[in-house]
Amino acid sequence: MVFTSTVFLFLFLPLFLTLYALLPARFRTAWILLASYAFYAWWRPDFALVFAGSTIAAYAVGQRVGVWRETRPAAARRILALGIALQLGTLGYFKYAEFGVESLNAILVAWGAAPLPALSVILPIGISFYVFQSISYMVDVWRGDAPAHARFVDVAAYIALFPQLIAGPIVRYKTIAHVLHAPRSSLPLVGEGAQRFMLGFCKKVLIADALAPIADGAFALTSPTATEAALGVLAFAAQLFFDFSGYSDMAIGLGLILGFRFKENFDRPYLAASITEFWRRWHISLSRWLRDYLYIPLGGNRRGTGRTYVNLMVVMLLGGLWHGAAWSFVAWGAWHGGLLALERWRGVGERPRSLRGMAGTFVLVLIGWVLFRSVDLAHAATVFQALIGASGWSLSPELAWQLTPRGFVTLAVAYALIWFPPATVGRGARNLVDRVAVLGQRVLRWSLLPLFVLAVMRAVADSYSPFLYFRF
C-alpha cells in the first residue's frame, strides 16, 4: 500500500485513525500491530509470514539476551550473534541471492565453466528496513539501552509500525519504547503531524513525480548528449530528494498523529560543504545506524589512521550494497567511502564552510547519483562520457517530448527550495538569505492546504507511482 494511493487516503487511514482515537490507550499498540500487518500484506500476504518470522526471532533473541547479559554474557553474545546472522541471512537470501548467482555465473563463464541455474527471487518490500530495526532491538537490549523484558506486542508493533515500515526513517526501539506501552496523542501533535504529512505528500506528488519523466527519459537513452545527461542527473537528484524526504515527512507526520516523535531524516543535504557533512544531513537515520552498529564496532577511528580509512570504506561499501544488489551500488558506496577517507586525511571537516565547498560537494554528490541511478556500470560509463561532451550537446526528439513547461518549472522550483529552503529564522534574520527563508516559510504555511488538495487530485488522476526507496 502506498501513502499516495486512494485506498490509503480514503479507506485505510480514516478507518485506522477513527478506531485509534476511540480505543483506550492500552489497546492502541495492538491495533497498530494489526493495522500495520494489514498495511504490509496488502501487496503480498505471503511475505507477511517472512516479516512475522523475522519479528518473532528478534523478540526471542532479545528476551534471552536480556536474561543472560548479566549472568551469562558469553551465552548472550552467542545467541545475539545467532540472531543477527538469522536476520542478515534472511536479508541476504531475498536481496542478494540472485545477484550472487549472476556474479558467480559471470566468473564461471569467463573461466569456461558451465553456469549455475538462474535464480529468481522476489524481494519483499521494506525488508532492508525491518531487518535493520530488528537488529537494532537485539543489540540495544544487549547494550542495556532498551528494556530487557518488553511485551511482545510492543516489540512487534515497533518493527511493524506502518508509517515508517517500508522506507524509514529507521527508528531505534529505545526512542519510542516508553510510548509503545500506551500511546497517547494530543491536538497539538495531531495538528503538527497533519501539516507534516501534507508537506511530504506535496513534495512527492507535485515535485518528485513531476520530475520523474525527465529523469527516466534521460537515463533511458542509449546514447545521451551532454545536455540530456545533465538534465537527467539534475532531475534525478531533485526527484530522489523530494521523493525520499517526502516519504520521511509523511512518516514523521503520521507518527506525530499517533503520539510518536521520530527523529529527522534529512537536514538540507544539498547545502553540505563536504561529503562528511552530506552524510550528516542525508538519510540521517541510516547514517547513524551504520555508525553505531557497524563503524564503531569495527573500531571506528580508535585503531589508527589506516584502520579508520578501511572502516570508512567497508561501511560505505556495505551501505551501497544495502541500497541495491548491483555493482553500480557497490561503486556508489566505494565512491562515497573513498571521498570520506580523503576528507578525513585532508582534514576537510575541520575547515570553515564556504560557497566553493558547497558547490564542489554538490558536484561530487551528482557524480555519485549517476552510479546510483544507472542500471549497471556500463550505463554509468555512457552517462559520464556524455557529461564531458563525447556525444555532443543537442537535444534528441526522444527526450524533447518529455520536457514540458510543467517539468521545467518544477525543476526550477525544486532547486529554489533546495538552495533556499523555507525556515523559521530567529530575530537575527538580517541578511537576504534569512529573509527569503522566513518569507518562504510564511508562504508555505498559508498555501499548504490548497497545495495538498491539488496534490490529492493529481494523485487520484495520475497512474500508480511508488516511492523510489520501496525497492531498497
**Which residues constitute the domain of residue 18?**
6-184
Q: Is residue 17 part of a domain?
A: yes
* Identity of the amino acid at 9: L
- Spatial neighbors of 346 by CB under 8 A, at least 6 apart, are none
Confidence of residue 332 (pLDDT cuts 50, 70, 90): very high
C-alpha span between 182 and 456 (Å, rounded): 32
Domain boundary among 134, 159, 184: 184
Whole-Å CA distances, 94 to 89, 91, 200, 395: 9, 6, 30, 40
Helices (H), 111-225: 127-143, 152-160, 173-180, 187-202, 209-220
Task: Provide mean pLDDT across the span 122-137.
Answer: 89
Average pLDDT value for the chain: 88
- The DSSP element (H or E) to which 244 belongs, if any, is helix 226-258
Average pLDDT rounded to a whole number, residues 279-301 = 90
Q: Are residues 154 and 26 in the same domain?
A: yes
Task: Check: CB of residue 163 under 8 Å from CB of residue 251.
Answer: yes
Residue 462 to residue 459: CA distance in whole angstroms:
5
C-alpha cell at 220: 533511458
Question: 314 phi and psi, to 5 degrees?
Answer: -60, -45
Residue 302 covered by a domain: no
Residues 459 and 426 in one domain: yes
Q: Determine the angle formed by the axes of helices 173-180 and 127-143, rounding to 10 degrees.
A: 80
Query: In terms of domains, do 174 and 236 share one?
Result: no
Contact 345, 310 (CB under 8 A): no
Is the pLDDT confidence value at 334 over 70? yes
- In the chain, the amino acid numbered 51 is F
Do the domain assignments include residue 344? no
For 40-92, write each residue's pLDDT tens digit: 988 788 889 999 999 999 999 999 999 898 889 899 999 999 999 999 999 99
Residue 389: the pLDDT is: 84
The answer on 133 and 21 residing in a single domain is yes
Tell me the three cell numbers of residue 421: 529552503
* Domain end position, chosen among 163, 184, 205: 184
The owner of cell 520501496 is: 470
363 pLDDT band, cuts 50/70/90, is very high
State pTM to two decimals: 0.90
Nearest-angstrom CA–CA distance, 343 and 337: 10
| Consecutive H or E run containing 99 | helix 73-110
Q: Same structural domain for residues 148 and 240?
A: no
Is residue 379 one of the residues assigned to a domain?
yes
% of the chain residues with pLDDT over 70 = 93
16 and 93 within one domain: yes
Q: Please name the amino acid found at residue 408.
A: F
Hey, what amino acid is at 210? A
Check whether residue 31 and residue 132 sit in a common domain. Answer: yes
How far is the C-alpha of 251 from the C-alpha of 126, rounded, in Å? Answer: 14
The verdict on residue 79 lying in a domain is yes
**Where does the pLDDT of residue 469 fall: very low under 50, low under 70, confident under 90, or very high at 90 and above?**
low
- Of the candidates 40, 414, 85, 13, which has an alpha carbon nearest to the alpha carbon of residue 246? 414
Tell me how many domains the chain contains.
Answer: 2
Cα torsion angle, 131, 133, 136, 140, sign? negative
Q: Report if residue 293 sits inside a domain.
A: no
- In the listed set 167, 184, 201, which residue is the last one of a domain according to the structure? 184
Residue 358 burial (CB count, 10 A): 17
Confidence at residue 449, expressed as pLDDT on a 0 to 100 scale: 86
C-alpha 132/C-alpha 285 separation (Å) is 11
Share of the chain above pLDDT 90, in %: 54
Q: What is the mean pLDDT of residues 449-470?
A: 78
Q: In a 3-state reduction of DSSP, which class is residue 297?
A: coil
Name the nearest CA neighbour of 465 among 209, 122, 203, 163: 209
Domain identity same for 162 and 266: no
| Catalytically annotated residues | 323
Same domain (yes/no): 151, 38: yes
Q: Which residue has the cell 528496513?
A: 129
Q: Cα separation of 326 and 320, whole Å?
A: 9
Q: Within 13 Å, how many C-alpha atoms sit on residue 191's CB side?
A: 4
CA–CA separation, 435 and 438 (whole Å) = 5
Helices 47-68 & 127-143 angle (0-180, nearest 10)? 10
Give how far Cα 322 sits from Cα of 77, 132, 310, 447, 472, Å. Answer: 25, 10, 18, 38, 7
Q: Do 454 and 378 belong to one domain?
A: yes
pLDDT at 187 over 80: yes
Q: Where are the alpha helices (DSSP H) in 203-326?
A: 209-220, 226-258, 275-281, 284-290, 305-323
CA 250, CA 262: separation in Å to the nearest integer? 11
62 and 107 inside one domain = yes
For residues 187 and 166, give the distance between their C-alpha atoms in angstroms, rounded to a whole number: 27
Pair 171, 199 in one domain: no
Residue 327 falls within a domain, yes or no? no
Contact 254, 408 (CB under 8 A): no
pLDDT(436) > 90: no
